[in-house]
Amino acid sequence: MSTLLFRRPVDEPGLEAWRHVHNVIVPPAALSLDEVRERAGRNLLEVVHLGDVLVGCTTVRPPKPGTATATATVIARVLPGHRGRGFGGELYARGLEQARELGAEVIETVVLAANEDGLRFARKHGFTETERYVLPGDPSEWIDLRLT
């Protein structure tokens, strides 16, 4: 297997690549470039390439200061054409390592309920469902999961 390249999206092409993957995987929560810029300021975002080919992206939401339990959210997204090749596991392992470096004691993730591949991946990697919900103005169901 070739080596995946992880890069923080610091310029317009990088931010746009991250946005593209996010919007393909979670179309009900499609983001604008300005929204991605804002997220890049508070979360650890990375775009992932295999050579010159965009494969996926990651998000690590760091623990919030002053909370009783340091909880981070790790999200790994792999474009549909690249699934089933072990990339998701690599993205997830890197995000998990980053979350722990940020002091996380608890790891969570969130998956669009309609994303069966994402749910299967999360459960396979030890996550258990903690909550299902619908956001105001959006009929899509979301699932929060916690690493057990």
pLDDT tens-digit series, residues 39-53: 999 999 999 999 999
Longest dimension (CA), the chain: 43
Q: Residue 95's domain is classified under what CATH number?
A: 3.40.630.30
Number of structural domains in the chain: 1
Q: How far apart, in whole angstroms, are the C-alpha atoms of residue 105 and residue 25?
A: 27
pTM of the entire predicted model: 0.93
Residue 130 makes CB contacts below 8 A (sequence gap 6+) with 108, 144, 145, 146
Tell me, yes or no, whether 142 lies in a domain: no
Tell me, yes or no, whether 128 lies in a domain: no
The more confident residue out of 1 and 124 is 124
